[in-house]
Amino acid sequence: MKYLLMVAGFFLLGFYTKESAAQSPVERPKLVVGIVIDQMRWDYLYRFQERYSDKGFKRLMTDGYNCENTMINYLPTFTAPGHASIYTGSVPALHGIVGNDWVDNRTGKSWYCTEDTSVKSIGGGKAGLMSPNNLWASTITDELRLATNFQSRVFAISIKDRGAILPGGHTANAAFWYDGETGDFITSSYYLQKLPDWVSVFNKRNLNDSLMNLNWNTLFPISTYVQSTADDNNYEGVVKGEEKPVFLHLTSLAVKRKDKGAIRTSPFGNSMTRLMAQACIAGEKLGQGNNTDFLAISFSSPDYIGHQYGPNSIEVEDSYLRLDKELGLLFDYLDKAVGKGNYTLFLTADHGGAHNAGFLTDHKIPAKSVSIKEINKDLNQYLMQQFGVNSLVKSLMNYQVLLDEDLIKSNKMNRRHIRQEIIKWLKMQPGVTEVLDMESPERLGVALLKERSANGYNSNRCGSIQIILNPGWYSGYAPTGTTHGSWNPYDAHIPLIWYGWGIKKGKTFRQVNMVDIAPTLAALLHIQMPNACIGKVIEDVLK
């Protein structure tokens, strides 16, 4: 009997040894690269396509999978909610990043999306007091770290702090963003106690000055920019140090006045971001280990340029032709450093941008740039007449009505009556399509508007009344440039292209949503979806 047990034991041992040897690791790419382009309208893929090179956008469109009808399914369409929603696969109502800024209705404190005064700045000044602590949900980058017992490495890079911190998630090895005071890439003590040597070496190169001293001229003869308006027009803003918004832009003047932040509103911001990303790949040896690494890159300068000049400017057209070249250089670098076919990449945007209102009206299309501050002032005057108390509305931030709850309580006022009067008054204002009562279960209005408003609403961080403006209408900073934030296709229709390991070639015109990116990555990597994910896998993308 003893002999039989020994034989059986050896047999089983051999069986399990063979089974163990036969098992192979989960198939995953060596590196995932997430690229978010800040304020890229979907139509820019085609509007400037004729002069894109074969190495940038065209390479992705030809050899990758293009989701042509990708939409943002919440309000407002701003930078911070966009980055958070891409990487959590969720909406602001659930992940908590309801805007770039908000007021906590429980405490009355105003918050910036990534501010954190409990941390220390590493490598910079106040710009380093940031972390992902205001983000409630996990990200796909967090889930990759969890799935590999934190052996996968995650890094995130952007000129904007929120463009790096939110994609990096809670468990990133580090996120690096640009300090406009010093001209350096920095981080916070949330991640590290000192900058890695490769970052210090990168900062010492002082690329800000060397790039800005090149000055910004058009890549091609200016007369050939047929997709844009004339260079000198009333739709574009003038940057500091210039008299007109025209080429040649003497960006070198910013170097003389030691304005390190000026690079943001030039294509050189994209160049510096791309070079920083490559330095990170080399410095951290990303894609060289036994586990899949993740690099999140956000190109922020298109947003600054769009706000300044508007989508019909030669500046925007030229900046995208230059960005196309930067992408080509990045892809070539990835091919050499990681290996072609060894990495998976996706490219998308956090939001689009409206045409300048003046440009539209000059072409007989209804539009208008309005001042939310003026509307807020007029609304408070009306409420003063009705109730005898001033400043009942704190702000109309994020196109939402934020009440002064303490003032209403201290004056023992009828809150319901006040809200009814606000809704009635707002509905009578020109350019207002709909006013949604976010506290009422019987919300009226178009189903799509209700859905997107609900997806963006959180009672702790949002105003309880949502304002929807007419198409083409927006709250602008000035009559020049543009902005974003609405539900309309010019703000909510974004590019989404997949490329590389595990990705099919092709395209689809069926609607998918921004929140579908994270679960698709989860399926590709065979890991769990982020913990607040509501998106669906885009099955067509995967081999």
Q: Are 496 and 348 in contact (CB under 8 A)?
A: yes
Residues 6 or more apart in contact with residue 407 via CB below 8 angstroms: 389, 391, 392
Mean pLDDT of all residues belonging to the chain: 94
pLDDT tens readout for residues 150-172: 999 999 999 999 999 999 999 99
d(CA 367, CA 492): 17
| DSSP strand pairing (432-437 vs 465-469) | antiparallel
pLDDT for the residue 15:
44
Task: For residues 38-42, give the mean pLDDT.
Answer: 98
**pLDDT tens for each residue of 129-145:** 999 999 999 999 999 99
Active-site residue flag, 229: no
Domain limits for position 265: 31-361+486-541
Per the structure, the count of domains in the chain is 2
pLDDT digits (tens, 9 = 90+) for 207-255: 999 999 999 999 999 999 999 999 999 999 999 989 999 999 999 999 9
Q: Answer yes or no: is 477 within a domain.
A: no
CATH code for position 383:
3.30.1360.150
Q: What percentage of the chain carries pLDDT values higher than 70?
A: 95
Same-domain pairing of 349 and 424: no
* Res 12 pLDDT > 60: no
**CATH number of domain containing 530:** 3.40.720.10
312 and 200 in one domain? yes
Domain identity same for 200 and 300: yes
In a domain, 480, yes or no: no
Q: Kindly name the residue from 62, 70, 77, 79 that is annotated as catalytic.
A: 79
Whether 7 is in a domain gets the answer: no
Question: Tell me, what's the pLDDT at 21?
Answer: 43
- Per-residue pLDDT tens for 329-356? 999 999 999 999 999 999 999 999 999 9
Q: Are residues 79 and 206 in the same domain?
A: yes
User: Residues 421, 519: one domain?
Assistant: no
Same domain, 68 and 144: yes
pTM: 0.94
Quick one: pLDDT band at residue 444, thresholds 50, 70, 90?
low
- pLDDT tens, residue by residue, 77-114: 999 999 999 999 999 999 999 999 999 999 999 999 99
State whether 391 and 326 are in the same domain. Answer: no
Query: Based on the domain organization, do 140 and 223 belong to the same domain?
Result: yes
For residues 352 and 378, membership in a common domain is answered with no
pLDDT digits (tens, 9 = 90+) for 269-323: 999 999 999 999 999 999 999 999 999 999 999 999 999 999 999 999 999 999 9
Report the amino acid identity of residue 59.
R
Domain presence at residue 13:
no
In this structure, the answer to whether residues 330 and 401 fall within a common structural domain is no
The answer on 415 and 281 residing in a single domain is: no
Mean pLDDT of the 109-132 span: 97
Residue found by looking up tokens 């260079």 in the block:
231
Q: Which of 441, 470, 499 is the last residue of a domain?
A: 470
Nearest Cα to Cα of residue 487 among 81, 158, 173: 81
Same domain, 507 and 463: no
